[in-house]
Structure 1
Amino acid sequence: MLLEKRFKRGEYEMSGALQEAVMIMLKEGFEGPTNPQETWFTNNKPDSGIFGALKGASHREASTSVNGTTLAGHANHIRYHMWGTNEFIRSGTYPKMDWDKSWEPSSVGESSWVEVQEQLRSEYMALISALDATEWNQAIANEVMASLSHSAYHLGAIRQILKVAKTG
């Protein structure tokens, strides 16, 4: 009975401390640690978040296929997932998602690689702004935690692809 009440959807508000922790983790995952000597899950180097990892890649490296995926594909997939999160926060419902298309483009030229990165940063900034202006509830907390986990997974994949793309 206690477990049923505890996990009932929407029953609890997110604490300020936990909400702040989620924001710190999101920022570290994308922007890198504020202080590289005090990281939670990224490397102890500046620019070790998603933006820094992608910034160091050329458009050729971003188009290098490693086990069927590319940096460009991962970057757009993260952006697309984040767009879905932003839509959920705005409307309370999930948009129709085409996950296969989320991996496109897999190959980019110099200018389109810059554009992919800018679109990712724009969607991220929209998420940070939305989260700052939104009253959190259980559904939003779940969605944001899923987005954080999803992005952290892809940060690891991006790092692995970079190892191959930079040596190839």
Structure 2
Amino acid sequence: MSETLASSIKTLLKETFEGPGNEGSYYTDSKPNTGVFGTLDGLTAEDASRSINGSTIAAHSDHTRYYLWVIRSMINGIDFEKDWEESWTISTVDEVKWAEIREELHKEYVSLFAEIDTIDLGKWLTNVNATIAHSAYHLGALRQMIKSLEIEK
């Protein structure tokens, strides 16, 4: 059962971040590149810095990265102070900072994805499921923000 559960979690994490596989989608668009990474690909720092309803794509992206880091830190027993407000402070980014945010988001995702096979899912299942739900929420927000960018251009 644990193997099946880990596989299911990884499938949903992968769809959220990498997009659906060839076998179809469970909850995102079934088109290629509709996960977080494909959604962010091709966006400039200027796009990521544009304020849309009081937030930016850069802030949503970094907040998602921070959430993954928090969950991984908890799983790994790292003592830290959560600062959710700090994870929302990014507004304007240059191309270097924008690339760094995307790279760090990818790194946190890959690390969590790899840990799914090694952690006690009985103990961490709610946290891991919350990560999927939280990240999928922000994927939806990012996709809506991008629609707004397309209207403005």
TM-score (norm 1): 0.85
Q: Aligned Cα RMSD in Å?
A: 1.5
Code of the aligned partner of 1:165: L
The C-alpha deviation readout for 1:137-160, integer Å capped at 9, x for no partner, is 2x3101000110000000000001
CA distance in 2, matches of 1:77, 1:52: 17
Deviation at 1:56, TM superposition (A): 2.7
The C-alpha deviation readout for 1:69-118, integer Å capped at 9, x for no partner, is 11000000000000001011111x77321111101322111111111100
Q: Does 1:99 align with 2:84?
A: yes
* Residue from 118, 132, 145 that aligns with 1:148: 132
TM-score (norm 2): 0.93
Deviation at 1:17, TM superposition (A): 2.0
Q: Percent identity?
A: 39
Residue 64 of structure 1 is matched in structure 2 by 50
Deviation at 1:40, TM superposition (A): 0.6
Residue 151 of structure 2 is matched in structure 1 by 167
Code of the aligned partner of 1:164: S
Structure 2: gaps spanning 5 or more residues: none
Q: Does 1:50 align with 2:36?
A: yes
Q: Is the 8 Å Cα contact of residues 73 and 103 (structure 1) preserved in structure 2?
A: yes
Structure 1: gaps spanning 5 or more residues: 1-13
User: Number of matched residues?
Assistant: 152
Residue 112 of structure 2 is matched in structure 1 by 127
What secondary structure sits across from 2:121 in the alignment? coil
CA distance in 1, matches of 2:61, 2:79: 21
Evaluate the alpha carbon distance shift between residue 53 and residue 94 of structure 1 in structure 2; reply closer, same or farther with a 3 A threshold.
farther
